[in-house]
Structure 1
């Protein structure tokens, strides 16, 4: 069976993956029969070998591949190639698509992806034999319902007022990783009574800091439609534009250093320690972003940040907020990889 889980809502993608794991029976039996592969590096031969390995003392083998669909995402405008020297993604994906479409009955293959477009040739090639689920970022109304459902699912009888929901949306935004954590803390804090605005203010004290990381991730992943609302939330909460630029520059440096260390053969754990990334989720996000950026593009982004800093300090556009709006639009328009 082939599962394709894609979308910018990484939390829901991971929840769907956990649901697949639970459906495969005893976790203890599944663990030694689970393989995780990096899509950017795996070859058709490697994928075939893993998928055709008979499970040990179990009915199913689980193979998870992250980033394979993005590997074949067309880079040119409207999906067309920029140069005849570049390989045609539609042709390049066929060998691995042939492996995917001929899975043994005992293998559950899960492809995970982020901003995968409908024109993706590998997705088109395999969609007829796959269970495809797309998880876009939740809109405000959907996010409000998600919060209410999350509260109700934690403890029987738990509830949250509309005012508290609206405040949660304003403070945290649509990053469900942070939102789920904050909701769970609120349920414990209120111990069965209704969650009100004052509870949110008391418990969600670091939500603004979470918001800056969400916004930085959105910018670095060229998700302009997500980054701009998050930026406006930070402005509303009183965050200084200069601090936002500092955090963006920090992420660019992390990605650049990560690419250099990966290129020199350093292990994932060694890189995590060297960069001081104690949170596994933050490490994974930076790792994925490093796959998407060339060193040249990182230097271009860094120069854009310097230009924005100068524009703010000299009052070039009159408003620091406008400078950051322009910066996000420019970075999103160019995307990540520069050849």
Structure 2
């Protein structure tokens, strides 16, 4: 099918998007034939889809935040706020979007690969129901239990390594089903173990060295609106001895990269040049920073910088309990990542 809906765990969704990108054509033409639309109107989406590819067989048109606008109020309360902002979680009227299935089936060029990407959707989503007859829908929740163990084993074998059942158990106890963190850990463990199977002792050793990895994973979760994951990782960092000032400084460091990415994107700078200017050669990390930038308006970014300063100052002056201040910061910042309104300013 020329249209796809992909939603669920952000790591698995990113992997599915990479597979779809591979259908566009040669890697050197991918940037010229890939287009990202955030919560577009119908006319803008149609105009983008109607354009012809440049020296390639296909064009990828990725759409973020559109289906989230058609979540019901109840659906948002059950599953959290999907990507895409709607005041007070109200479901958008279908309007011209009723025409979308017919356009996809009858008018959209065969050279266009249209992908709707979301985080959380419910079955009651009105636009999702309309798209199901003409789009391939992939729901990609993070696996749990035995399915998670199989995923770890398969992912490890894909790297040419082996892992023992005991190591899998220790790894899932440490990282849960936070897929970004698990994949990062498996990469390190596979390189460390070499030709022998990854064992429990290897996972334990990695955990003792993983504070920096945890802060990056926690910051990603915070900026992407995954509050529970962010809180869990922040608590782990605190148990491992990290002070709040260190955590705040690392959040500010990532926020700086996101802010610079947002500025360059607004100035229509290409993805590869953005990576060069930010010093991020890895495509995967570069795209993650750009996705985080798309989630936040300039007012959001200014507010986040202000809150980081307030928390750091309040803790250093002894006006706030460290753990309470950190948890409140995570809660408020994660709400922005889910498309919620900014809390009111606080007095210092």
Q: Same fold (TM over 0.5)?
A: yes
Shift in Å at residue 38 of structure 1?
A: 0.9
Are residues 101 and 36 of structure 1, via their aligned partners in 2, closer, same or farther at CA, if it must alter by over 3 Å? same
Among residues 45, 48, 58, which one is paired with 1:46 in the alignment? 48
Partner of 1:84: none
Kindly indicate whether residue 35 of structure 2 is the aligned counterpart of residue 37 of structure 1.
yes
Q: 1:287, 1:20 → 2: CA distance?
A: 19
Deviation at 1:21, TM superposition (A): 7.2
Aligned with 1:306 (options 299, 305, 309): 309
| CA distance 1:228–1:151, change in 2 (3 Å) | same
| Rounded Cα–Cα distance in structure 2 between residues aligned with 1:19 and 1:282 | 17
**Counterpart for residue 345 of structure 2:** none
Q: Which residues in structure 2 correspond to 1:90-239 (within 5 Å)?
A: 90-91=94-95, 93-94=97-98, 98-102=102-106, 106=110, 109-118=113-122, 122-139=127-144, 142-152=147-157, 154-155=159-160, 158-162=162-166, 164-169=167-172, 172=175, 174-187=177-190, 189-202=192-205, 207-239=210-242
Structure 1, unpaired ranges of 5+: 81-87
Q: CA shift at 1:47, angstroms?
A: 0.5
Residues 218 and 295 (structure 1), Cα distance of their counterparts in 2 relative to 1, 3 Å cut:
same
Which whole-Å deviations, capped at 9, do the CAs of 1:179-206 have from their partners, x for residues lacking one?
A: 3354245345435544222223556775
Structure 2, gaps ≥5 residues long: 70-83, 343-348
Contact 1:97 1:126 in 2 (8 A): yes
- 1:139/1:94 CA distance change after superposition, 3 Å: same
CA distance in 1 between counterparts of 2:4 and 2:323 reads 42
Instruction: Quote the Cα distance in structure 1 between the aligned partners of 2:257 and 2:26.
Output: 36
Match of 2:64 in 1: 67
Cα distance in structure 2, aligned partners of 1:277 and 1:177: 18
Distance 1:142 1:49, change over 3 A: same
User: Structure 2-normalised TM-score?
Assistant: 0.74
Asked if the contact 1:68–1:111 (Cα under 8 Å) also holds between the matched residues in 2, the reply is no
Contact 2:68 2:118 in 1 (8 A): no
Does the 8 Å contact 1:9/1:138 carry over to 2? no
Q: TM-score, normalised by structure 1?
A: 0.76
Cross-structure match for 1:16 = 16
Moved more, 309-318 or 166-175: 166-175
1:102 partner SS: helix
Q: Residues 7 and 121 of structure 2 are in contact (CA less than 8 Å); yes or no, is this contact kept in structure 1?
A: no
Cα RMSD, aligned residues only = 3.9
Structure 1's consecutive aligned runs of 4 or more residues displaced over 6 angstroms after TM superposition are 26-29, 53-56
| Shift in Å, 1:106 | 4.6
Quick one: distance in 1 between partners of 2:253 and 2:244? Answer: 14
Distance 2:301 2:64 in 1: 20
Which region of structure 1 is more displaced relative to structure 2, 177-186 or 322-331? 177-186
Q: Paired residues, what number? A: 321
